[in-house]
Amino acid sequence: MTMRLTAIVSGKVQEVGYRARVIDIANAFGLRGMVENPKDGRVKIIAEGEDEKIKWFENAIVIKNALISVSSIEKSYSSANVEFEKFGKLVTKGET
């Protein structure tokens, strides 16, 4: 069965390579979705895939190292609607 996780991640997650790590993790689990930087300093993640892989992904995105420090994640779940073909980064103008 497939599901969608929407996660809003707080902490030291901007300009430290967090989104790139999330993309690598999502691709390793074969998930579809996107990651983006809202203007409020948090990171928004939408991931779709098999229930078990979503649970593994949830644990893997709680990163704490020399650069990245996730302090909290607000999570919500829904049915996957298969709008994504792969997992990637949504960027705004002027962002890399």
Task: Provide the pairing of β-strand 69-79 with 43-50.
Answer: unpaired
Assess whether 65 carries a catalytic annotation.
no
**HSE of 21, CA atoms in CB hemisphere, 13 A:** 19
- Of 4, 19, 21, 32, which is the active-site residue? 19
Assess whether 37 carries a catalytic annotation.
yes
Strand partners, 90: 36
- Of 21, 32, 37, 42, which is the active-site residue? 37
**Residues acting as catalytic residues:** 19, 37
